[in-house]
């Protein structure tokens, strides 16, 4: 069992900054995220998106912000469990908690901080008959390790940044990449779209526009997909993998059953320390709600700072905050 002071559910920008605020108060943090990497929406959905409302940065790239936050918290040595969804929360007799993930990982902590953005992300799936029968058997919704697809035939479906970026990257790894999109133009970055069109022109990928997936075919594993083009003709494409990249759908998930006060899909908190109605459990960032709430990253940073002050009292109940604003790499933080 992993031992820590704060278990932070969500490794997006607000969860990462909470590590910094906790670290200044000598509190250890372990972060859990259902995604295979840190960064939350910034890394998973729009890593190249410019952000304009971070103080001190007239413009900062989303992934750059994540990378900088990681550097900022490195001195405090946080630990991570990635690619696992939080399922269970149990309170011990001493007031501490055990957080359990979908893979059976257990984290013992004194404070739980829910910084899960809009909740756990689940892939948006195409409406294809028997699709679930092929999940994990050729149908995958996230590219965790590109080497899995080396010298294999791939069909990628989608028109956003993820579909474009992976089509470009995997074109030099896979045996063959076919990119299918229902429209004539892409939603993703123009630069990425231009690269995809160039790869298609050079014969390095196959590009099917104004086309839709109709069926997944195979016997136990994926063997081919059927595609309907704009002329309503059906084409069968042999493939080893189908990778539908239609974005991620945020869901509160099992957290909704933890006895927290909810307003629709958001967790109600007070604005003194962003505590929930469950003692020792806090919610910060886009997942919480209160009068006047703004879903901005900088607001989440503010909430993380105030939350950490109160969390300190759970971690060190007999101590005063005498070492608030400690040192980072031997230099005064403030």
Known binding-site residues for FAD equal 33, 41, 46, 86, 121, 286, 327
**Rounded-to-integer distance, Cα 145 and Cα 150, Å:** 10
Residue 330: partners with Cβ closer than 8 Å, 6 or more residues away: none
Residue 268: partners with Cβ closer than 8 Å, 6 or more residues away: 260, 261, 262, 276, 277, 288, 289, 290
**Rounded-to-integer distance, Cα 288 and Cα 279, Å:** 16
Residue 281's closest CA among 104, 90, 2? 90
End-to-end CA distance of the chain: 35
β-pair type (106-109, 97-101): antiparallel
Q: How many CA atoms lie within 13 A of 28 on its CB side?
A: 12
Strand partners, 153: 176
Give backbone dihedrals phi and psi of 13, rounded to 5 degrees, phi first.
-60, -40
**Rounded-to-integer distance, Cα 102 and Cα 326, Å:** 36
Cβ 300 vs Cβ 129: under 8 Å: no
218 token code pair: 């195979």
Cβ 248 vs Cβ 283: under 8 Å: no
Taken as a whole, the chain contains a residue count of 334
Residue 94: partners with Cβ closer than 8 Å, 6 or more residues away: none
Query: Annotated binding site: which residue ranges?
Result: 33, 41, 46, 86, 121, 286, 327
225 token code pair: 């997909």
What DSSP designation does 146 have? G
């Amino acid at each position: 069992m992993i031992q820590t002071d704060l278990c932070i559910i969500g490794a997006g920008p607000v969860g990462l900054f909470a590590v910094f605020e906790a670290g200044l108060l000598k509190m250890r943090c372990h972060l859990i995220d259902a995604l295979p990497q840190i960064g939350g929406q910034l890394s998973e959905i729009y890593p190249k998106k410019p952000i304009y409302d971070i103080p001190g940065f007239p413009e900062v790239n989303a992934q750059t912000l994540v990378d900088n936050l990681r550097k900022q918290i490195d001195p405090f040595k946080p630990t991570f469990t990635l690619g696992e969804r939080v399922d269970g929360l149990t309170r011990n007799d001493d007031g501490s908690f055990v957080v359990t993930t979908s893979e059976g990982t257990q984290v013992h902590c004194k404070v739980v901080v829910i910084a899960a953005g809009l909740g756990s992300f689940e892939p948006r799936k195409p409406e294809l008959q028997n699709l679930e029968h092929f999940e994990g058997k050729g149908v995958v919704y996230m590219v965790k390790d590109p080497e899995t697809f080396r010298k294999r035939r791939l069909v990628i479906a989608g028109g956003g940044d993820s579909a474009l970026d992976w089509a470009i990257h995997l074109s030099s790894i896979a045996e063959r990449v076919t990119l299918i999109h229902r429209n004539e133009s892409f939603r993703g970055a123009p630069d990425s779209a231009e690269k995809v069109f160039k790869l298609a022109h050079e014969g390095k990928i196959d590009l099917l526009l104004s086309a839709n997936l109709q069926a997944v075919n195979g016997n136990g594993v994926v063997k081919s997909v059927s595609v309907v083009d704009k002329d309503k003709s059906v084409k069968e494409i042999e493939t080893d993998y189908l990778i539908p990249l239609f974005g991620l759908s945020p869901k509160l998930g099992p957290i909704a059953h933890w006895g927290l006060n909810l307003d629709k899909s958001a967790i109600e908190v007070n604005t003194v320390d962003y505590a929930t109605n469950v003692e020792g459990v806090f919610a910060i960032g886009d997942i919480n709600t209160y009068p006047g709430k703004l879903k901005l990253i900088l607001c989440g940073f503010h909430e993380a700072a105030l939350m950490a002050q109160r969390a300190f009292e759970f971690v060190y109940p007999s101590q005063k905050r005498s070492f608030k604003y400690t040192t980072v790499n031997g230099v005064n933080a403030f």
